[in-house]
Amino acid sequence: MGHKRSWHTAVVHFTVTVIMITMVISYVHASVNVGTTSAEASSSSNATNVYPRNSDIHHIQRSDVEEALDIIDAAWSRSLGDDCVSTVGYKSLPVALDPKRFDDSRRKIDMSAIMLQNLGSMGHTNNLLDAVARSILTSITNAVATRVIILNASTNIIIDETWMKRTLDVMEEPVKLESDTLRVGYRPYEGFPWFQIANDTNSHLRSAKFKQPFAADSYRGWWTFPYLSCKTHQWLMSYNIYVRKADYPHSTTLDYLSVDIDISGLEINQCDLSASKSSDDVDETFNNQMESFRGSHKCDKDTTQCEYRGQANRKKSDIYQLSVAPGWVKGAYICRCRIGFYSVDATNTIGNEPPGFDGTLVEAAWTEMRSNKSDLYHKVFKCIKCAIGCVTCKGPEPCLATYNWPFREKIPKFRILYKGIEIQLLLKFEID
């Protein structure tokens, strides 16, 4: 009988031990998961770099965005030399900007065009052209230059023109500009980003220089792509209208109205749209930011998170003092380690903030990686997962033993539970 009982006891002991181990393992799993799910959840979005494709941005190509970023970088470091010379002092970006933010300005320019149209051939006194140009300049926010050009409709030779400019931030009257590139008796220079000879009788400007308007838009004119004026170092965008005369098609002249808007005050935020804060402050904060560049950061999406460093959050020394466009800079972000990841290489640790990599360095490494020059990008700019059981960490040390107090407290409870079950089962067999 004693022999049988000890056999029973062994079986019960074995079963209970298996139950016990299973429980402990599942508990460890559960407690470890608490530490990692938050990091996994935030990185569960598509790991590929997908550019925003909302209805505002047409067919935006990643290669175009990269090219634009390179131009912006060269403009920032003033190394656009040859480009600026070969394009008569202008350098266009291959990426369009949603012109919706300039709708108020656009309406005013459209209205001036209607006025010129209704004046017909009467409107060809130079004083009147000056007055139109001046009123546009002074009534439109950030308008820095206006041109009104009267062209011979059959030869495109300039019959009359006025080109006015003003300096923002200075309470200064607009001044008239004389330029060799825009002279009576000649055709306008076609290298201007803002000019294109109309090729058909309807004056439709299907040119690569202009952003194709949306079907729903009823603009009278055409927006250019953003471009840099090498001379003034301003980023500009122009709105241009071919004004058809009221007496068209008998009119032998065409009016061309062109207005430059200074967009140097905009900012390049390369972080993902979803990485932003609440949707409430979207309008306020993003008013200033160009949507085309969203999602073009080079942070490792699995282990780091892009954090925009706006002008306000940047170090003074980082902002080139003479720059008129401090927001037009590539790499103005930090790739911060995600929760549950650490890096001993990363800098920019302020207080308790997780470490991060400077976006400028990440961009440079990415460029080198793309041109097969180095693999630093893959080696350095990633964070490392914390040891099992750590919610956060500053290094590879395990933190299970030190920090997981709830888990440690559970162990004696398991032991008591285990003993209880064992005793009950043994008693049951004893009675049998």
Ligand X SMILES: *[C@@H]1O[C@H](CO)[C@@H](O)[C@H](O)[C@H]1NC(C)=O
Which residues contact ligand X by CB under 6 A?
Answer: 46, 48, 50, 152, 154-155, 159, 199, 206, 252-253, 371-372
Q: Helices 2-43 and 405-431 sit at what angle, rounded to 10 degrees?
A: 150
- Identity of the residue, 5 or 206, whose beta carbon is nearer to ligand X in the bound complex: 206
127 vs 371 by CB, closer to ligand X: 371
Phi then psi dihedrals of residue 313, to 5 deg: -95, 5
Q: By C-beta, is 208 or 322 nearer to ligand X?
A: 208
Three-state secondary-structure class, residue 223: strand
At 82, which helix (H) or strand (E)?
A: helix 81-86
Question: Residue 137 and residue 420: Cα distance in Å, rounded?
Answer: 88
For residue 190, give both structure tokens: 């076609």
Q: Check residue 80 and give left, alpha or beta (phi > 0: left; psi -120 to 50: alpha).
A: alpha
Q: Which of 132, 108, 325 is CA-nearest to residue 236?
A: 325
Pair of tokens at residue 123: 């409107």
Q: How far is the CB of 255 from ligand X (least distance, A)?
A: 12
10 Å CB burial of residue 238 (0-12, 13-18, 19+) is: buried
Please, what is the Cα angle at 229 between 223 and 231, to 5 degrees?
Answer: 155
Closest CA to 145 of 120, 181, 119, 101: 181
Alpha-carbon distance 423 to 426, whole Å? 5
Identity of the residue, 48 or 321, whose beta carbon is nearer to ligand X in the bound complex: 48
Least Å from the CB of residue 46 to ligand X: 4
CA 118 to chain CA mean position, Å: 42
Q: Please identify, using beta-carbon distances, which residue of 152 and 181 lies nearer to ligand X.
A: 152
Q: For ligand X, give the closer residue by CB, 41 or 344.
A: 41
Least distance CB 14 / ligand X (angstroms):
45
Q: How far is the CB of 370 from ligand X (least distance, A)?
A: 6
* Residue with Cβ nearer ligand X (15 or 199): 199
Structure tokens at 126: 């130079």
Whether the ω angle into residue 174 lies within 30 degrees of 0, i.e. cis, is: no
Looking at beta carbons only, is 100 or 373 nearer to ligand X? 373
CB 291 within 8 A of CB 98: yes
Q: For residue 145, how far is the Cα from the chain centroid? A: 27
Instruction: Give CA–CA dist 150/423, Å, rounded.
Output: 104
- Please name the residue ranges forming H helices in 125-244: 126-139
DSSP for 282-319 reads HHHHHTTB-GGGTT-----TTTEEEEE--GGGS-GGGS
In the DSSP assignment, the letter for residue 280 is G
CB nearer ligand X, residue 200 or residue 283: 200
d(CA 383, CA 303): 5
Minimum CB distance to ligand X smaller for 369 or for 380: 369
